[in-house]
Amino acid sequence: MADEPSTGGLHAHTRAIRAGRADNQNALAPILWATSTFTADSVSEARDLAVDTHSTRFYTRYGNPTVKAFEEVVADLEGTESARAFASGMGALSVIVLGLCSSGDHIVAQRQLYGGTQMLLQTVCPRFGIGVTFVDGTEPGAFAEAVIPGRTVLVIAESPANPKLDVIDLAEVGAIAGPMTVVDSTFATPLAQRPAEYGVDLVVHSATKAIAGHNDATIGVVAGSEELLAWLWSYAVLHGAAASPFDALNALRGVRTLAVRLRQQTDTATALVAALEGHPAVEAVYYPGLESHPQHELAAKQMELAGGLATFELRGGYEAGRLFMEEVRVVQFATSLGGPESLVTHPASTTHVSLLPAELEAICIGPGTVRFSAGLEHTDDVVADVIGALDRVEEIVPSADR
Ligand SMILES: *Cc1c(COP(=O)(O)O)cnc(C)c1O
């Protein structure tokens, strides 16, 4: 936290090492508070704890010291007054939507979104009478134009966004007056961009990904003003998507190495996209750090690092994508990102297999779209593995034949 001694004026990379230790007594490493409840000395103390909107010693669904320590690190890194952690990124997003919107309200969201967020907005919101308008988040002014004065409660953006790493103008989202603005900043992490600096009200992370960073925790977090988070908390306590102290401990462990991991993953992704551009099996490469990326200048302006994610489209379509997943050896085939293992996913044959081509196109997924997440293996091994797999795909289904 900002009020912690000896951390003022330091870089975020340095603060990430020691933040969240306000309640750590003299233990160097974060303490695991593996308890579901806490004893009280008196009725008046229990009453005070029960109504405290950032309580840590009443009942773990209300709050927990290990979880609060993680919340304090994220608030510190994002530069916000406060943060609240949840059972997952989707736990955080569903609490925002269901905690802040009522029947008759309206949401503006971008079309390019994480699949779970998209499903929440498309299938759950209508059941509760909450209207949603989807816009192309990369089109200047699209969010603001879709706002219905007096009805729109939330504007939801994601940047960089699934699946082609579209970059959304944070200043434009932050400047929208009226509705509360939300940015899912999972792909960037707080070390690459800080949406709150642009006036965005709530910053969401699936900390399951790069923040915890070891593929051993499922946890989400929302950063913003204490007033807004206290309001959100009053619903969240009833929703029950509380973060587990064990996962918060793993996230606290992870965040201390986020800076070095993010730098290494950015280096690997940068080397890979350079090798991909011009490969005969590859139709297009999407990476915010590439000059060919449609929002490259915006990314350079608002992101300190382009990150470890890259997306590419194979010329051979569905069959090439399917083959590629089975040809990689160092890189593994799993759904997630930001961890030590380099991973690839092929949405058209896995997560989005039930969608028709037109439906896939509407959410910017092509038949040969592959998403790559850099891990921490040696850069040369990762690049050689991906290029080797593409060479074999090209031998089996030569793009010249199509
Ligand atoms: C994974 C992810 C989520 C959902 O987070 P979970 O922790 O899996 O619930 C939300 N947004 C983005 C961008 C994600 O990558």
Buried/exposed code over 264-285 (b: 16+ C-beta within 10 A; e: otherwise): bbbebbbebbebbeebebbbbb
pLDDT of residue 149: 97
**Residue in 70, 203, 205, 208 to alter for ligand 1 test, most ligand atoms within 8 A of Cβ:** 208
Cβ-based neighbours of 47, under 8 Å, separated by 6 or more: none
What residues line ligand 1, using a CB cutoff of 6 Å?
Answer: 88-90, 114, 116-117, 158, 162, 184, 186-187, 206, 208-209, 218, 220
pLDDT below 50 — which residues of the chain? 1-7
Which residue reads 């790069």 in tokens?
Answer: 210
- Closest atom of ligand 1 to CA, residue 207: 7
pLDDT of residue 255: 98
CA of 337 to the centre of ligand 1 (A): 9
- Closest atom of ligand 1 to CA, residue 161: 13
CA of 176 to the centre of ligand 1 (A): 24
CA of 399 to the centre of ligand 1 (A): 34
pLDDT of residue 310: 98
What is the tens place of the pLDDT at every residue in 17-71?
Answer: 999 999 999 999 999 999 999 999 999 988 888 888 888 899 999 999 999 999 9
Contact in structure between 373 and 210 (CB atoms under 8 Å):
no
What is the tens place of the pLDDT at every residue in 14-25?
Answer: 999 999 999 999
pLDDT of residue 5: 41
- Closest atom of ligand 1 to CA, residue 187: 13
- Closest atom of ligand 1 to CA, residue 92: 9
> Global pTM?
0.95
**Residue in 186, 250, 345 to alter for ligand 1 test, most ligand atoms within 8 A of Cβ:** 186
What is the tens place of the pLDDT at every residue in 67-97?
Answer: 999 999 999 999 999 999 999 999 999 999 9
DSSP 159: S
pLDDT of residue 50: 83
pLDDT of residue 402: 57
Which residue reads 């608002």 in tokens?
Answer: 302
Share of the chain above pLDDT 90, in %: 87
Cβ-based neighbours of 166, under 8 Å, separated by 6 or more: 112, 137, 138, 159, 160, 294, 295, 364
CA of 91 to the centre of ligand 1 (A): 9
In order, the DSSP letters of 210-224 are TTT-SS----EEEEE
Cβ-based neighbours of 49, under 8 Å, separated by 6 or more: 38, 40, 55, 57, 58, 62
Checking phi first, is residue 135 left (phi over 0); if not, alpha (psi -120 to 50) or beta? beta
pLDDT of residue 379: 98
Cβ-based neighbours of 101, under 8 Å, separated by 6 or more: 107, 125, 128, 130, 153, 154
Cβ-based neighbours of 175, under 8 Å, separated by 6 or more: 198, 199
CA-to-CA distance for 170 and 151, rounded, in angstroms? 22
